[in-house]
């Protein structure tokens, strides 16, 4: 394990033990708020983000920090994603944490020029620590890992429909879901991405692609040999594409390609209708 990995792990453990776990299954009603759109935030999210920011600023003085809660309070914070920065999700899976159930974790990435260069994923309850550095592979607890498919037929898929509009949601249910064995959505990227690399899931579709949810985890899966990319054009995930939606992660490039082809076929008829006004009512 590298020096920076050890330092990040020490910080994650400290914040988990000192701030997050004491509030787990111990939140008062007034300590949980809804940011809008059924997107909860707790006092533990805010306190852990502050502690993580303080710790990261000590590790790299002067490097900008983009935290989920800071960005919610001031969207101008998102402009920092265009340069060198830390990206922090203080509690990924807040919906679960607030309900007093797993999974939930912490995600930290270091990015530059729109791409994550390093990423760390920490499961607060099990202590699983995932780390990746661009071009240097993916690790779990200091051991290098390679992504593996489940080997099941049909492939195992976790498809998040939560943030899709009604038409897209129904199209997914009718034309994409029947080709896969669907499993639960953990509502936690810190859990979903490891499932894709560790032989539990084969492919996952994400609609919302916020940097704090995906920067660290997408890099880690890619470094493990999986594939994470935009399904519409196959481009890699970038942290500075604020507002862009749609992302597919898979345990292998083959599985990613299969899903991308199905999604392209789903889009093609709609595109044809739009292109021919004579067919419109």
Q: Which residues carry a binding-site annotation for Mg(2+)? A: 68, 89, 91-92, 213
The SS3 of residue 281 is coil
Starting at the edge strand found earlier in the chain, the sheet holding 105-112 runs: 64-67, 85-92, 105-112, 115-123, 129-133, 138-140, 143-145
Q: What angle do CA 95, 98, 102 make, to 5 degrees?
A: 70
Hey, what's the torsion of the CAs at 189, 195, 196, 197, to 10 degrees? 110
158 strand-pairing partners: 204
Binding residues: 68, 89, 91-92, 213
- The DSSP output letter for 45 is H
């Amino acid at each position: 394990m590298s020096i920076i990995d050890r330092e990040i792990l020490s910080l994650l453990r400290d914040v988990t033990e000192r701030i997050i776990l004491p509030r787990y299954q111990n939140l008062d009603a007034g300590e949980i708020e809804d940011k809008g759109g059924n997107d909860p935030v707790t006092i533990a999210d805010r306190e852990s983000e502050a502690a993580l920011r303080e710790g990261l600023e000590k590790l790299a003085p002067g490097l900008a920090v983009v935290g989920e809660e800071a960005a919610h309070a001031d969207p101008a914070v998102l402009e920092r994603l265009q340069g060198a920065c830390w990206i922090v999700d203080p509690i990924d899976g807040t919906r679960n944490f607030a309900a007093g159930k797993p999974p939930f974790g912490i995600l930290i990435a270091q990015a530059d020029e729109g791409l994550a260069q390093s990423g760390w994923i920490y499961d607060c309850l099990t202590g699983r620590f995932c780390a990746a550095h661009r071009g240097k592979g993916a690790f779990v607890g200091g051991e290098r890992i390679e992504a593996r498919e489940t080997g099941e037929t049909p492939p195992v898929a976790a498809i998040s429909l939560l943030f899709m509009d009604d038409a897209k949601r129904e199209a997914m249910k009718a034309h994409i879901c029947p080709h896969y064995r669907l499993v639960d959505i953990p509502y936690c990227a810190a859990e979903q991405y490891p499932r894709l690399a560790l032989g539990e899931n084969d492919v996952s579709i994400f609609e919302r692609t916020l940097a704090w949810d995906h920067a660290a985890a997408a890099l880690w899966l890619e470094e493990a040999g999986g594939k994470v990319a935009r399904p519409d054009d196959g481009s890699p995930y970038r942290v500075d594409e604020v507002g862009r939606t749609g992302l597919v992660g898979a345990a292998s490039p083959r599985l990613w390609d299969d899903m991308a082809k199905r999604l392209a076929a789903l889009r093609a008829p709609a595109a044809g209708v739009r292109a021919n006004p004579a067919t419109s009512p």
